[in-house]
Amino acid sequence: MFVDDLIWFLGAVAVCGSLFWLAYRIEPHWVAKDGTRFVTTAQTVDAGLAPGARREVRVAFLGDDQLMVSRRSMLRSKSALWRVRAKAPTPPRGKEVYLCEPIPADPMAASLLLRVPKRSRVVPTLDRMAPVAGPYDPKAKLMLPRSRRWARRADRD
């Protein structure tokens, strides 16, 4: 009797743990029919530090290659203007990663990494907003925005 109860308890804990892991791995994505707004995940990156936690953000395309990025918190949402600075040459499988800088540009401010599914309808628009990059090393991994590869790319612009 005790062994049966223990097995059921451990099974329930395993199911809850796997559902928690699955919920953590899911990255939301939605695009409006007109293609001017979308929901995705983003990470903030401080100068020279590791990326922060992934957060769900709402993004709207504005004129002049600007993005209005809004992040909801418990009490209110925070919005800011961003500009696409570069596109990661070797993003994770099935994703496109875009590096954004705040408007007005501040070298000490944190940057933003937008993670978008590769097959999303907003990828061509974000590609048009990203500056054209020169050749890159295909063996290079996705690095922090302040690394040498990103700095070389920024110098070409």
pLDDT at 18 over 50: yes
Q: Is residue 10 part of a domain?
A: no
Q: Is residue 69 part of a domain?
A: yes
Tokens of residue 133, six digits: 């990059």
pLDDT bin (cut points 50, 70, 90) of residue 145 is: very low
Please report, rounded to a whole number, the percentage of residues in the chain having pLDDT higher than 70. Answer: 81
0.85 surpassed by pTM: no
List helix spans (H) across the chain: 2-25, 123-129, 148-156
Q: Is residue 21 part of a domain?
A: no
Spell 124-154 as b/e; 16+ CB within 10 A means b.
ebbeebbeebeeeeeeeebebbeeebbeebb
118 lies in which domain range? 27-156
What is the tens place of the pLDDT at every residue in 110-129?
Answer: 888 888 998 889 888 888 88
What is the tens place of the pLDDT at every residue in 69-108?
Answer: 888 777 778 888 888 888 888 888 888 888 888 888 777 7
CATH number for the domain including 118?
A: 2.30.29
How many other C-beta atoms are found inside a 10 Å radius of the C-beta of residue 109? Answer: 14
pLDDT at 9: 92
pLDDT at 11: 93
How many separate domains does the chain show? 1
